Structure 1
Amino acid sequence: MLPDRGRNGRNSRIPAKPVSRGRALCRRVIGMNTAWDAVGDGEFFCPACGGDRNYQRLTGRRRFVLLGVPVVPRGTRGPVIQCAACQDLFDPDVLDHPTTTRLSAMLRDAVHTIVLAVLSTGGTGSRTVLETAVCALQGAGHEDCTEDRLVALVDALATDAGRATEPDCGPGLAIELHEALGPLAPHLAPAGRDALLLQGARIALADGPYTPAERDVLSTAGCALTICSEDVTRLLATARTPS
C-alpha cells in the first residue's frame, strides 16, 4: 500500500496507537501461567518438520499469576504433543498419522497381501504370473522373494486357512485384505490407492484375461482401499490396455 502524502508532498505516516502504560504494567503484575508436565514420549510424523521426529506428550496446569508468583489454580490444559525438534504443539490426533517408517512397512504388507490374494485364485501355475508377482514384491522391498518361495507360501496359506475350498474371494481372504489395506487407505492419495490395485490387476492379466475369481479378489481389494466400484471397473479395464 502506498503511504499517504501531506500537502507539502512529503510522506506522512499515521502514528501508531500508543500502548497504555497501565495495561502493560497490569500484564506484568497479573496474568496466567501454564506449567507443563511430560507424561509420555515416542516417535511421530511432525507436520511442521515434514518427517519423523521424537515427541513428548504434555499436560498443563494453569495458574493465576500475581507478581510472577503462581497463586491460584485455574484448571488444566492438554494433553498436547510437542515435537522435540521444532517445539511446535499439536493435538493428540496427530499421532494417528503413521511415521514414514511405519507407512513404508504398511505399503510392503499391502503389496504382499494383494499379490498372495491374486495368486491364491490359481495363478501359481503360470510362470509369467509368478515372474510378474516376484517383480512386484521385490520392488516393494521383499528383496529375498523368489518364485519357489512364493509358490510354497501360497500353498501353505491355502492349506492353513482352508482357502482351497473357498469359492472366489472367500470370507477369510476378504478379511485379510481389509485388515491389510483398510488402515493404509486413509493415508494414501487416490493415485497411490489406484497404483496398488493396478499391481494386482497386472499380475492377474499376466496369463490372460481375468478369471471370475481374480475379478472378485481385485474388487474386494478395491473396496478395502475405499475405491468405488465404478473406479475399480475403470482401473481393471485400464490395466488391460497396453502401455
Structure 2
Amino acid sequence: MLPGRGRDGRAARLQRILGTRTAWTAVGDGEFFCPDCGGDRNYQRLTGRRRFTVLGLPVLPRGDCGPAVECAACLRHYGTDVLDHPTTTRFAAMLRDAVHTVALAVLATSGTCSRTALRTAAGAVRAAGYDCAEEQLDALVRALAADTGRFYGEPCGPGLAIELHEALDPLAPHLAAAGRESILLQGARIALADGPYTPAERDVLATVGAALTIPAEDVTRLLAAARTPS
C-alpha cells in the first residue's frame, strides 16, 4: 500500500483539515511555585474558548475551557489548584511564624521561663530565620501573660490553641512527615531545657502535634525520644 493511503492516512488528512483551537484570555496574574521549574515564577491566569476549525480557520464555537495557570517561564499550563501551594518566599515565612509561635507557646506554659529555656527557644527561632534575642522572647512571653491574664504553668487554653492552629494548620499539608516532626521536637527541646515536661507543657505539645496532623501515638513517641540524650 502506498504511503499516506489507508485508514491511518485518511485520519492524518482529516486531522489537517478539521480540528479545534483554543483562544486564551488573561484574567489575572501573580507569583506561584511552578512544579516544572521548581521555583517561584510569575504566572497568568487564563480562561479559554474552544473553536472548531476547518483548514486552520475557526468557524464554530465549541464552548469554554479552563481556567488555567500559565507559567511565564516554561509556558506550561496547570490547573488552578497549583496556586494552593505556597511560593518559596511564603513557605519560608509560614515556617518562621510556626516555629516562633510554638516557641512562645511552650515558654508561656513553662513553670519558670528559665534562661536555659529562653536560650534554647531563641536558637530555634533564629535557625528558622528570625533575628530574635532571648530578651525579646522573654518580653513577648511576659507581654502575652499581661495581656491575657495567663500565669506560667497553665494548661493550653482555647486562645493559645487557636493561635497554634492558625500558625500550623496552613503549613502542615506542605511539610513532609520529617518536617512536621522537627517542629514538634523543637518545642519539646525547649520544654526540656529546664527539666522534665510539666503537665502544661505536655498539653501544649499535644496541641502542636494535633495541629501538625501527627498521630497521638507518634506524638508520645517523639516526646519520649526528645528526652533521650543523643
Instruction: Tell me the TM-score range normalised by the shorter chain.
Output: over 0.9
Range 115-124 or range 56-65, more displaced: 115-124
2:89 to 101, 104, 108: 101
Using CA pairs below 8 Å that are at least 6 residues apart, which structure has the higher relative contact order? 2
1:217 to 179, 197, 204: 204
Query: Which one has a bigger Cα radius of gyration?
Result: 1
* Distance verdict in 2 for CA 1:19–1:124, change over 3 Å: farther
* Distance verdict in 2 for CA 1:45–1:123, change over 3 Å: farther
1:200 pairs with 2:187: yes
Matches within 5 A, 1:57-96: 57-96=45-84
The one-letter code sitting in structure 2 at the alignment partner of 1:24 is A
2:13 to 11, 25, 31: 25
Secondary structure of the corresponding residue to residue 137 of structure 1:
helix
1:186 to 157, 164, 173: 173
- Alignment check: 8 A CA contact 1:123 1:204 kept: no
* Distance verdict in 2 for CA 1:168–1:20, change over 3 Å: closer
Secondary structure of the corresponding residue to residue 76 of structure 1:
strand
- Alignment check: 8 A CA contact 1:123 1:130 kept: no
1:175 pairs with 2:150: no
Secondary structure of the corresponding residue to residue 151 of structure 2:
helix
Q: Please report how far the alpha carbon of residue 17 of structure 1 lies from its aligned counterpart in structure 2 after TM superposition.
A: 9.1
Q: Please report how far the alpha carbon of residue 164 of structure 1 lies from its aligned counterpart in structure 2 after TM superposition.
A: 3.2
Q: Please report how far the alpha carbon of residue 21 of structure 1 lies from its aligned counterpart in structure 2 after TM superposition.
A: 4.2
Sequence identity of aligned pairs in percent?
A: 69
* Distance verdict in 2 for CA 1:43–1:124, change over 3 Å: farther
Secondary structure of the corresponding residue to residue 102 of structure 1:
helix
Q: Please report how far the alpha carbon of residue 140 of structure 1 lies from its aligned counterpart in structure 2 after TM superposition.
A: 1.0
The one-letter code sitting in structure 2 at the alignment partner of 1:205 is L
* Distance verdict in 2 for CA 1:26–1:16, change over 3 Å: closer
- Equivalenced residue count is 228
User: What are structure 1's unaligned runs of at least 5 residues?
Assistant: 1-14
User: What are structure 2's unaligned runs of at least 5 residues?
Assistant: none
Give the aligned partner of residue 229 of structure 2: 242
Q: Please report how far the alpha carbon of residue 19 of structure 1 lies from its aligned counterpart in structure 2 after TM superposition.
A: 7.1
TM-score (norm 1): 0.88
Q: Distance in 1 between matches of 2:10 and 2:206?
A: 70
Per-residue CA deviation, residues 133-183 of structure 1 (Å, 9 max, x unaligned), is 11111111112x112211111111122233339940000000000110011
Secondary structure of the corresponding residue to residue 226 of structure 1:
coil
The one-letter code sitting in structure 2 at the alignment partner of 1:103 is F
- Alignment check: 8 A CA contact 1:163 1:170 kept: no
The one-letter code sitting in structure 2 at the alignment partner of 1:100 is T
The one-letter code sitting in structure 2 at the alignment partner of 1:227 is I
The one-letter code sitting in structure 2 at the alignment partner of 1:54 is N
1:126 to 98, 114, 136: 114
Per-residue CA deviation, residues 95-124 of structure 1 (Å, 9 max, x unaligned), is 111111111000000000000000001355
Runs of 4 or more off by more than 6 Å in structure 1? Answer: 15-19
Q: CA RMSD, aligned part only?
A: 2.0
* Distance verdict in 2 for CA 1:235–1:165, change over 3 Å: closer
Q: Distance in 1 between matches of 2:44 and 2:29?
A: 4
